[in-house]
Amino acid sequence: MSEDRFPRGRTAIVSTATYGMGEAPGLSSIDLAVSASVRALGAVGLAPSDVDGLFIALPDDFLSGLTFAEYLGITPRVTDNNRTGGSAFLTHCMWAALALEAGQCDVALVAYGSNQRSAAGGLVSAMRPTAYEGPYRLPRPVGAYALATSRYMHQYGLRREQLGAVAIAARQWAGLNPDAFMREPLGMDEYLASRLVCDPLSVRDCCLVTDGAAALVMTRADRARDLSRRPVYILGNAASTHHRDITSMPDLTTTAAAISGPRAMAQAGVTPRDIDVVEVYDAFTINTLLFLEDLGFCAKGEAGAFVEGGRIAPGGELAVNTNGGGLSCVHPGMYGLFTVVEATQQLQGTAGARQVEGARLAVAHGNGGELSSQATMVLGTEETL
């Protein structure tokens, strides 16, 4: 491969917004995405007409880039509605950084919204089973993640209590976040007694089904300092994938985050040990374990022990999913953009009761499909440049 170049620190997130977190009846997915977008833009004195780089993927609209441009009456120079599942938004940020750096656009907007809780009442997946797999009636995506979990348990002796530690930590962080959907404490007994969906995963291993929207605004670093008191710089950003359906995953216990993570961190010139805040796409409890390993925070097979004893909970050694994650904060179909929004808020020091003191470096990690598409961002404050 050619040299892995990325414009480290030359672009920045200047503003983020969320909207309709939890339940937002009466609004469509595009209504929600626009609601978050105009707020993110307005907070730094920008209007939709300033946006010349548009990055969006809605769950129910394969042409959402066109829909969004029409809705707000804008004519972007760059329109991208690439969809790699829930990781898409982190790939959007990567392309936005490259487009900004190349002078293809000056103000990039990354947006997402979904009304899946109010409209559908269940997770809406873009995945369609093939003729080879449909007849076996695996509920997807949960069944695919359950298969991966079974394999991980077989290889590494993972216990359900260790998956429970992930769910409980997420709920503890959610308890500190007024925007989180499920904030009441979750105990281990309750976790272990929760209804199985696809063994070994129970309802408490599964992400929420909510409405919600998020948006962020990116510019080149020089302009970022004029727009924001505390820009958050993109230090590294890389993506990888090697399959769509779980059946074709080369190793059910190792995701392509083992490729995207080291690449993003090398671009940023940091190691996992340097990271203050970790936001990973926890569609299911097994995700957090796999990503902690694949991103290099612990060795393969050791994440179960790593998360025990409150190590990733508030007050623990490593702050993971500080908003409560997809498990307890918000999961409107695709959660990826919310990892970046939370990482940004932590680095801007605006995370309230859940603020990680002195956070300077954050990793946001998105997952798409069935542990398929992985995208990693390393974000930093001005001091890390």
Nearer to other proteins, 286 or 359 (CB): 286
Place of tokens 């599964």: 206
Distance in angstroms (rounded) separating the CA atoms of residues 195 and 198: 9
Residues 337-356 contacting other proteins, CB under 8 A: none
Size of the site for other proteins (CB under 8 A): 27
**121 binding other proteins? (CB under 8 A):** no
Q: Give dist(CA 201, CA 189) in Å, integer.
A: 15
Q: Compute the least distance from the CB of residue 245 to other proteins, in Å.
A: 8
Q: Does 187 bind other proteins (CB under 8 A)?
A: no
Residue with token string 């050619």: 2
> Per CB under 8 A, does 128 bind other proteins?
no
Nearer to other proteins, 132 or 273 (CB): 132
Among positions 202-261, residues that touch other proteins (CB under 8 A) are 245-248, 252
* CB-nearer residue toward other proteins: 73 or 250: 250
Q: Does 377 bind other proteins (CB under 8 A)?
A: no
Give phi and psi for 254, each to the nearest 5.
Answer: -135, 120
Of 302-321, which residues contact other proteins (CB under 8 A)?
none
149-184 burial code (b ≥16 CB/10 A, e <16): bbbbbeebebebebbbbbbbbbbbbbbbbebbbbbe
Interface with other proteins, residue 371, by CB under 8 A: no
User: x/- contact string, 129-168, with other proteins (CB under 8 A)?
Assistant: -xxxx-xxxxx---x--xxx-xx--x--------------
Distance linking the first and last C-alpha atoms of the chain: 26
Answer for the pair 215, 37: CB distance below 8 angstroms, yes or no: yes
Does residue 104 interact with other proteins by CB under 8 A? Answer: no
What is residue 62's three-state secondary structure?
coil
Taking CB under 8 A as the rule, does residue 199 contact other proteins? yes
The least distance separating other proteins from the CB of residue 163, rounded to whole angstroms, comes to 14
Measured between alpha carbons, how far is residue 93 from residues 53, 99, 114, 273, 297 in Å?
Answer: 11, 10, 19, 24, 23
Rule CB under 8 A: which residues touch other proteins? 130-133, 135-139, 143, 146-148, 150-151, 154, 195-200, 245-248, 252
